[in-house]
Amino acid sequence: MLRCVVAVAIAGLGCGERSAPEPAPAPDPIPVAVPARVDAVDLVTKYECHRCHDVPGVAAAPRDKHCVACHQQIHAGTFAAEPAVLARWQARITSLRWAPSLGSADRLRRTWIRDFLLAPHDLRPGLVAQMPRLSMPTGDAARLAAYLAPGDREPPLAAVAVDLVRGEALYRGLGCARCHRFTGAAVDDAAAHLAGRTHTTPLAAWALAPDLRHARARMTPAHLGAWITEPRGAMPRLGVTPEDAHQLAMFVATAPLVAAAPRRPVTRPPRLARKVTWGEVERRVFRRVCWHCHAVPDFARGDGGPGTTGGFGFPARELDLSSYEGISAGSLDDHGERRSVFSPLADGTPRLVAHLLARHAEQAGEVIDGIRGMPLGLPALPIEDIQVVDSWIEQGRPQ
Amino acid sequence: MSRLVLLVALLIAATPSLGFPCGNEVERTKNEEVRLVIKAERYLEKGMYKRARAVVRSAHRNHSLQVGLRDPRLNRRLDDVRALVALRLELDRDTLAGVVEYLEGRSEAARGTNPRFRAWLAEAYAVTGKLDEARAIFAELQELDLMPDAFAYLALARISSGSVRQEALTLCTRRAKAKAICRLPADAAKPRSLNAARD
């Protein structure tokens, strides 16, 4: 919860800089009428999209592999664990409680889906987690995009004159800001969005509401208008006429946006002088976040998590972060050879620390080749925690 | 009968399955076999070898199967503990020969990818007099910064001298859960050979 609040506050603070409005995206070069639907069930299975998302044509992952279902069970109190343990988890687990259904991805631009898969960014301020950056070649991303958005269903554009004043009035009157941020637009209201969390039911509707800044890139105005008229999933029905839906869609698609303020680059913090032991780094970082995906396979019926035994398209890296001996044993590189996670990269940063810093870079829109940001798809660790890990490594990794 | 079958099926379907690795913490607290293995490994980590051995023995006493625990992965971990206890208690020559053979197999089965098995094998070589083999493995692991734990450094100290021994003992102390394990035996200068007579 706190991380969500902080994330929303930071997103709000980042939108004050006045600069030229962003231009509308170029029309989708892929023709609307496509000769055949693309089959990409093999890719859905390979990248395990169904571990979080509902995917058309693909059965959900088994319950013991379904991240969102697991977290939902925990919050519903139906997960098989002691009540005290459940209560502790319920207080701490804020991520992966919901994920958008890909059944309604057919409204999105295909090129946007492809680009998003290759370089995901934070789309939904109400969600703690975001789409993880997978190891996905462009061809796979394009095929998945074509599968999810066949492009054979372009709704007609309403034949009415555009009235942006009416569109803005609708936006304000319908209370869109209670669920949606619209960062960079004059109508954006961070306070209303924050208050909306408390008053919106179901909560999934608030959590899954995307930042409308990205709407014009994601959808054509015709699709946006159709969505407003006949929403699917968590989006509530607004009861607007098709004409009003069109005006609202055109407003969302063309409202002037100021560019987001660039995030300050994160640099490697200085190491601490005080002693840092394994107990502290385990408590603050590895046992709190990492071991969920980097665990001991023997203690989890052979499944050490995607970061250990493989998953989401990643090969088995055999990186066990759940114990001192585990982390000391390193991980497998791209050639299947074992390497230390403490080895310094060219700039002297230990590999493990580089991955933690890279997540900050990814959140700022920068992808570092060869270094995947960790934790995958989750908010970057606070710099203070990275500093503690870095200091522990520099001090020789004392127990 | 069909109603009973249906009821059982519904009950099974309604029971939430354990998520993995979501079930990490649950497995560690509720799965008796996992708890047993963790207990044995913690005793080993602290240098409490006889207690570790007692836990391993209890696993075989309390389970009807000849092989010990039901989960073969956990059984293998108990076998690892048993081998390391024998190594660190420096039991009889025949037992140590068996430990070397076991760890050679373990290291080979892991195809050299898990440095823990390599370090254990090197430790076994160090105790049983195969010093060149031990030094080669430790040199390889140090070069890659993959020395897994304090015991590896202790074993390295055992077969080293001068500043190398001192450095290894320092690193042992830094990385040990229980610092007391970082003490060399009185006859550390004379590694036990499988061919030497034992008193």
ipTM: 0.83
Q: What is the pLDDT of residue B21?
A: 54
A237 and chain B in contact, CB less than 8 A = no
B143 and chain A in contact, CB less than 8 A = no
Determine which of A35-44, A307-316, B35-44, B99-108 has the lowest per-residue pLDDT on average. Answer: A35-44
Match 């108990």 to its residue by tokens.
B78
pLDDT at B108 over 50: yes
Calculate how close chain B gets to A35, using CA atoms only, in Å.
41
- From chain B, the residues in CB contact with A79 under 8 A are 16, 19, 22
Of the candidates A79, A82, A292, the beta carbon closest to that of B21 is on A292
Q: What is the pLDDT of residue B65?
A: 43
The mean pLDDT value for A11-23 works out to 40
- The verdict on a CB contact (< 8 Å) between A63 and B19 is yes
Confidence of residue B133 (pLDDT cuts 50, 70, 90): very high
Give the A window 23-62 contacts with B, CB below 8 Å. 62
Q: Which of A198, A264, A194, A268 is nearest to A7 (CA)?
A: A194
More confident residue, A168 or A6: A168
More confident residue, A150 or A270: A270
More confident residue, B61 or B104: B104
More confident residue, A200 or A168: A168
The mean pLDDT value for B119-128 works out to 94
Determine which of A36-50, A116-130, A242-256 has the lowest per-residue pLDDT on average. Answer: A36-50
Confidence of residue A265 (pLDDT cuts 50, 70, 90): confident
B71 and chain A in contact, CB less than 8 A = yes
B34 and chain A in contact, CB less than 8 A = yes
Q: What is the pLDDT of residue A156?
A: 75
- The verdict on a CB contact (< 8 Å) between B29 and A85 is yes
Question: What letter represents residue A127's amino acid?
Answer: L
CA distance A51 to A54: 8
Q: What is the pLDDT of residue A180?
A: 97
Give the whole-number percent of chain A exceeding pLDDT 90.
Answer: 72
Query: What pLDDT digit, counting tens, does each position of B182-197 carry?
Result: 998 776 555 544 433 3
- The verdict on a CB contact (< 8 Å) between A302 and B73 is yes
pLDDT at A15 over 60: no
Interchain CB contacts (distance < 8 Å): A and B: 122
> Which pairs from A338-347 meet CB under 8 Å and 24+ separation?
A338/B112, A338/B113, A338/B114, A338/B115, A338/B144, A338/B146, A339/B144, A339/B146, A340/B144, A340/B145, A340/B146, A342/A393, A342/A397, A342/B145, A343/B145, A345/A371
Q: How many CB atoms lie within 10 A of CB A110?
A: 24
Q: What is the pLDDT of residue A210?
A: 97
Calculate how close chain B gets to A91, using CA atoms only, in Å.
16
CA distance B144 to B132: 19
pLDDT at A14 over 50: no
Give the whole-number percent of chain B exceeding pLDDT 90.
Answer: 56
More confident residue, B50 or B68: B50
The β-bridge partners of A263 are none
More confident residue, B21 or B196: B21
Query: What pLDDT digit, counting tens, does each position of A217-230 carry?
Result: 999 999 999 999 99
Give the whole-number percent of chain A exceeding pLDDT 70.
Answer: 90
- The verdict on a CB contact (< 8 Å) between A318 and B114 is yes
Q: What is the pLDDT of residue B194?
A: 43
Q: What is the pLDDT of residue A64?
A: 82
The mean pLDDT value for B159-176 works out to 95
pLDDT at A272 over 50: yes
The mean pLDDT value for A90-101 works out to 93
- The verdict on a CB contact (< 8 Å) between B114 and A329 is yes
Q: What is the pLDDT of residue A332?
A: 94
pLDDT at B5 over 60: no
pLDDT at A157 over 50: yes
- The verdict on a CB contact (< 8 Å) between A301 and B19 is no
Is A217 exposed, middle or buried (CB count within 10 Å of its CB: 0-12, 13-18, 19+)?
middle
Pair B84, A299: CB distance under 8 Å: no
Of the candidates A80, A299, A329, the beta carbon closest to that of B28 is on A299
Compute φ and ψ for A311, nearest 5 degrees.
160, 165
Rounded to the nearest integer, the mean pLDDT of chain A is 88
Q: What is the pLDDT of residue B198?
A: 33
More confident residue, A241 or A17: A241
Q: What is the pLDDT of residue B7?
A: 53
Rg, chain A, Cα only: 22
More confident residue, A230 or A81: A230
Q: What residues have CB less than 8 Å from A13, skipping those under 6 apart?
A: none
- From chain B, the residues in CB contact with A398 under 8 A are 174-175
The mean pLDDT value for A283-310 works out to 89
Determine which of A18-27, A282-291, B115-124, B160-169 has the lowest per-residue pLDDT on average. Answer: A18-27
pLDDT at B84 over 80: yes
More confident residue, A285 or A5: A285
The continuous run of DSSP H or E covering A332 comes out as strand A331-332
CA distance B20 to B83: 29
Give the A window 78-97 contacts with B, CB below 8 Å. 78-82, 85
Confidence of residue B22 (pLDDT cuts 50, 70, 90): low
Q: What is the pLDDT of residue A154?
A: 73
CA distance A177 to A379: 23
Pair A215, A183: CB distance under 8 Å: no
Interface test with A, best of B12, B20, B142, B143 (most A CBs within 10 A): B20
Q: What residues have CB less than 8 Å from B92, skipping those under 6 apart?
A: B198
Q: How many CA atoms lie within 13 A of A263 on its CB side?
A: 14
- The verdict on a CB contact (< 8 Å) between B24 and A332 is no
Pair A57, A41: CB distance under 8 Å: yes
- The verdict on a CB contact (< 8 Å) between B148 and A66 is no
pLDDT at A34 over 50: no
Of the candidates B26, B112, B115, the beta carbon closest to that of A81 is on B26
The mean pLDDT value for B56-75 works out to 72
Q: What is the pLDDT of residue A200?
A: 81
- From chain A, the residues in CB contact with B176 under 8 A are 399
- From chain A, the residues in CB contact with B149 under 8 A are 324-325, 328
